[in-house]
């Protein structure tokens, strides 16, 4: 983390650039992670609450993205931005621990929305396959179509149960790092594959932006990137397995 937070009296002075900040253009408050002691490495990172109105904050123009258009993303730059010590979250140097725990909740609760997306997607696809006719029968009677829909259902229920288990463990205060990573992996990769299947089943209609089927795919692609890439999730699981 290159953003620096230097303590001066009762204030920290923040300097640095955050490259991809979700909802930055419309946010009122930011949670910022900055290096307070470079010699301590990841143990020298602290977390801060910073209001948008603070002097020294420059919010960039929203990026143009392929999906998740309701969640604007931009840069946030700090130029000698002064933050009171009281706005530090927890102890100095505990930012990494705070980030890791917040990521567990983000990777589970946030990705539950994708479970909802896949459920709606499945219902829409079943409805289409039950009404659309080709060669004097509904396309759902075609095994190639019905088996693809069954696979969508399988991914949905597997992802849902993994999310439930991860949240159950966290509610009990137990270690859920592996389960959260498994859930994030399953949900994000299932969302992409099921979106591709839905487009294929809807055929030409699935390719049209007016229908909304293709939007699911555009929204699903970034799910394997934000909150830790799929590769990072596999690394976390591998470490838990002793590899």
What percentage of the chain reaches a pLDDT higher than 90?
80
Please give the pLDDT value at position 85: 94
Tens-place pLDDT, residues 78-116: 999 999 999 999 999 999 999 988 888 888 888 899 999
pLDDT at 210: 85
Does 174 participate in catalysis according to the annotation? Answer: no
- Report the CATH number at residue 202: 1.20.140.10
Q: Are 32 and 47 in contact (CB under 8 A)?
A: yes
Residues 217 and 101 in one domain: yes
Interacting residues of 22 by C-beta distance below 8 A, sequence separation 6+: 71, 72, 73, 226
Is residue 59 predicted with pLDDT exceeding 90? yes
Q: How confident is the model at residue 41 (pLDDT cuts 50, 70, 90)?
A: confident
Residue from 77, 92, 106, 189 carrying the catalytic annotation: 106
Same domain, 73 and 122: no
Q: By residue range, what is the domain housing residue 19?
A: 4-93
Overall average pLDDT of the 141-165 stretch: 96
Q: Are residues 112 and 227 in the same domain?
A: yes
| The total number of structural domains that make up the chain | 2
> Residue 91 class from Cβ within 10 Å (0-12 exposed, 13-18 middle, 19+ buried)?
exposed
* Confidence bin at 1 (pLDDT 50/70/90): confident
Token pair of 230 as six digits:
């799929």
The last residue of a domain, from among 59, 93, 127: 93
Report the pLDDT averaged over residues 149-166: 96
In angstroms, rounded to a whole number, what is the distance separating the alpha carbons of residues 2 and 236?
A: 23
Per-residue pLDDT tens over the stretch 132-141: 988 889 999 9
């Amino acid at each position: 983390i290159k953003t620096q937070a230097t303590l001066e009296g009762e204030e920290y002075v923040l300097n640095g650039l955050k490259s991809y900040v979700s909802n930055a253009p419309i946010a009122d408050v930011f949670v910022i992670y900055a290096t307070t002691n470079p010699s301590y490495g990841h143990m020298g990172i602290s977390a801060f609450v910073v209001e948008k109105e603070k002097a020294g904050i420059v919010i960039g123009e929203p990026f143009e993205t392929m999906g998740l258009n309701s969640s604007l993303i931009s840069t946030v730059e700090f130029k000698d931005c002064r933050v009171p010590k009281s706005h530090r979250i927890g102890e100095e140097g505990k930012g990494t621990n705070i980030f890791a725990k917040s990521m567990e909740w983000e990777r589970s609760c946030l990705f539950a929305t994708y479970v909802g997306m896949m459920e709606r997607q499945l219902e829409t696809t079943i409805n289409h396959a039950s009404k659309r006719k080709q060669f004097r029968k509904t396309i759902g009677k075609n095994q190639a179509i019905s088996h693809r829909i069954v696979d969508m259902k399988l991914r949905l229920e597997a992802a849902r149960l993994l999310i439930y288990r991860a949240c159950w463990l966290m509610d009990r205060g137990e270690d859920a790092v592996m389960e959260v990573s498994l859930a994030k992996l399953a949900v994000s990769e299932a969302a992409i594959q099921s979106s591709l299947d839905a487009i294929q089943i809807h055929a030409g209609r699935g390719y049209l932006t007016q229908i909304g089927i293709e939007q699911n795919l555009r929204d699903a692609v970034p799910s394997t990137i934000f909150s830790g890439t799929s590769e990072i999730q596999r690394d976390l699981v591998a470490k838990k397995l002793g590899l």
